Amino acid sequence: MLWSAKLHLNASSGWHRHDVFEWIFCLSDGGRLEFHGQRDGQQIGFRSGRSICIAPQVEHRFAFAPGESARLKLICLEAADIGTFLSLTQAAFLSSIRTAGATFADHDQAAGGGNQDGTGDAHALLAHVPDDVGQTDVPGLQVAWGAVSLLLALHGQRHVMCGNPKPDRYRETIRNIREWLEPRLDDTIDLDRTARQFGLSRSVLTREFRRHTGRSLIDYCNARRVEKAARILAASTRSVTAVALESGFANLSHFHRQFKASYGMTPAAFRRMVNAGTNLRRPG
């Protein structure tokens, strides 16, 4: 079962916790999320274009100063459904959030910027997750979970764990590396060349890139390529082979493995699901 609703809030809530992953998409600025218990004092502001994922059993509340308000899209993911509808990679990412308690991502501040990099994709994908508390319709669920899968990939690529240490000496360098990589995803990424480009040793690059992004540099690049492929599949009729090549994959089998690991389905199945969702919502 998938829970989703749009909220317009202007008053602080009481402290509460849930047995589900609570995913908040900010549709406007104003207000903040505050944490209690072990994370007392931590907070994440509601900012247009930001997504926030809260792990189960984390005590929190919505907080607003006088005159503040926020429009939010709330999606709740039950643990039993995560193993059914999401890939093992995405399920592992959600599990990693439990330690920090929460994670957030700013989709309008993606590396590289602009729609080419996916800015605005989160808002477009939200349209495929209907505002229906406790959706059970099977065709609709498949479409909604497909959108959730892609949203989770976008969130995971840009996320920051709540309670991370203050920015250290390598944070800005890793941010610059991600921006540098973006227009080069069609090329073969060489660790030694990348390390030299930014004045790092191979071992420091490997260690710090994983520490700041949660992935190896190669896994990160493959994830970005798969995200690009998913966007092209959803928006065009180009062949799967053409999409793989355009996204930076020279080997079709490797592309299929990477795509299925990220989205739990083949590229062709993903396209059919997106098309089915479009047809379900076409007027007349």
Residues 223 and 127 in one domain: no
Q: Is the pLDDT of residue 228 over 70?
A: yes
Distance (Å, rounded) from C-alpha 168 to C-alpha 122?
29
Q: Is the pTM of this model over 0.75?
A: no
| pLDDT reported for residue 116 | 41
Q: Is residue 189 in some structural domain? A: yes
SS3 9: strand
Q: What is the pLDDT of residues 172-181, one digit of tens each?
A: 898 899 889 9
Residues 157 and 17 in one domain: yes
Q: Is residue 284 in some structural domain? A: no
Task: Indicate the number of domains in the chain.
Answer: 2
Residues 7 and 125 in one domain: yes
- The mean pLDDT of 125-139, rounded to a whole number, is 69
Q: Which domain holds residue 223?
A: 171-275
SS3 157: helix
Q: What is the pLDDT of residues 107-119, one digit of tens each?
A: 764 433 444 444 4
Q: Is residue 266 in some structural domain? A: yes
SS3 13: coil
